[in-house]
Structure 1
């Protein structure tokens, strides 16, 4: 009797192909395949972030009043900065860690005074025109031309002239450049102001615009900032003189008081000591 030889079951074509693929994948090829998947995932994430960045950079906000122009506390700046930190894989929340110095090196060796603009040197009002104003500027903001009626603070011309004779004068404002540059062109026709900085040079900290003097390339011992908003100098309060906001008081004498203060600072090596002495005197007078 002839015995039957058992034959192995015939595998399907799908199983054969699967086995061949498994045999061809060496450990090296498996590693390369896994790496390719990781790189593809990273590429997709970066592409998505750049797309979001492009959308944010093209976003425009409608400006409908002067209050929005000067006192806006939220903007796309914080979101853009978050994306920047994500793209460079920076987990440090300190946005100043690698920030560049904004001011060029000082050639005069003078001490530096940073001045706010609105409610410190001038007051500005949008249409309708107020009863009193010195000049009008008409910037184009988000494609819309706006009228701003500017009233100079009493003594501002004399103050700038006296300050520029002894100090490096820098205007640092949280206002938009489109508006503030026109105001300064009219206010500083004698070019007494050495440098100008606008909203884009401020830091957004918890929704507040902060003027960080540590990024200005100046020794903080030789720096003073004058501002009507305490939030502006939150990082360096020891360098700051808080001035009373100006609206339309024709009897305002704050700039004459400041002129006397700066005239008497020659004896101070550290301007923070001068500011501290000034603040003490002001508290006693109050």
Structure 2
């Protein structure tokens, strides 16, 4: 009996039955494919879920007209369109990064009356410290840093200034202090003068225009209707561009019997509601002698500064 010869393991017949070993490169490639496929699947799943979530949020956050009040939404108030006199076309912002020349925010409501008040010699009078000698009358002291040096100023409030500011605020006027003094000095004075926060805005020397060596307060580029605004100032140079809006006032130095602000309360501001245009009210109150009165007060102010020993410091405050 003849036995069949056994085929060797390495014979060609059984070669296709042998399992080949995977190389490290092949194994890594297969693993990476699985990982990428898993990540793609996760991203796709997250994407679908996010779409569903945001779709629900949009439906929840968008109120219907009927249910807006119940859910606490408030309908915004619509304001009437403003005339060119109130807000010139040059004040419209055309770009997100466009610079604006208006130093004041928009007034609300638009028909509110604005009073621009000068500071030095109108609401207060201040003098720099001169050695150890103090003035006879003063209300408080401020010490601004001027030209790198701390300077002491004795400040005297004009009689009835507190009552005057309170009267304007209670009668619905927007109060803006517009001074030709530098901010380092004037801001300290106003912090003490206006402890109750009755003054809405403050404008300093950097908001003035310089013309022939003098600082002019131009009211036309402040975003306020000139029909609804007046300026009270002791220096006619300050309001030379809009004299029809100006109420001249005599310079205050140290006269404790001064009653100019009291007269303004009972005279002009107590009766100006009768006029639609405040410029007509100014004309009626001041009269036709406004130019002569301005000239006289300007001469008085120049003489007062000329006699001052500290005129160089005075120019830093206001001229």
The partner residue of 2:181 within 146, 156, 175 is 175
Asked whether the equivalents of residues 99 and 215 of structure 1 are also in contact (C-alpha less than 8 Å), the reply is: no
Matches of 1:105 and 1:117, distance apart in 2: 23
Matches of 1:253 and 1:270, distance apart in 2: 26
Provide TM-score, normalisation by structure 2. Answer: 0.57
CA radius of gyration, larger in: 2
Matches of 1:282 and 1:208, distance apart in 2: 24
1:282 Cα deviation (Å)? 7.5
Matches of 1:173 and 1:102, distance apart in 2: 14
Matches of 1:142 and 1:264, distance apart in 2: 45
Q: How does 1:40-59 map to 2 (within 5 A)?
A: none
Q: 1:41-68: per-residue Cα shift (whole Å, max 9, x none)?
A: xxxxxxxxxxxxxxxxxxxxxxxxxxxx
Structure 2 unaligned segments of length 5 or more: list them: 1-98, 294-319
Q: Which residue of 2 is the match for residue 115 of structure 1?
A: 117
The partner residue of 2:240 within 219, 227, 234 is 234
Matches of 1:252 and 1:229, distance apart in 2: 17
Q: CA RMSD in A?
A: 1.6
1:142 Cα deviation (Å)? 1.6
TM superposition outliers: structure 1 runs of 4+ over 6 Å: none
Q: 1:9-42: per-residue Cα shift (whole Å, max 9, x none)?
A: xxxxxxxxxxxxxxxxxxxxxxxxxxxxxxxxxx
Partner of 1:132, secondary structure, is coil
Q: Which residue of 1 is the match for residue 147 of structure 2?
A: 142
Partner of 2:176, secondary structure, is strand
Q: Which residue of 2 is the match for residue 104 of structure 1?
A: 105
Matches of 1:102 and 1:125, distance apart in 2: 29
1:106 Cα deviation (Å)? 0.6
Q: How does 1:189-228 map to 2 (within 5 A)?
A: 189-228=195-234
Q: Which residue of 1 is the match for residue 163 of structure 2?
A: 158
Provide TM-score, normalisation by structure 1. Answer: 0.63
Q: 1:83-127: per-residue Cα shift (whole Å, max 9, x none)?
A: xxxxxxxxxxxxxxx972221111134100000000000000001
Change (3 A) 1:183 1:157: same
Partner of 1:209, secondary structure, is strand
Matches of 2:103 and 2:157, distance apart in 1: 28
Structure 1 unaligned segments of length 5 or more: list them: 1-97
Q: How does 1:56-71 map to 2 (within 5 A)?
A: none
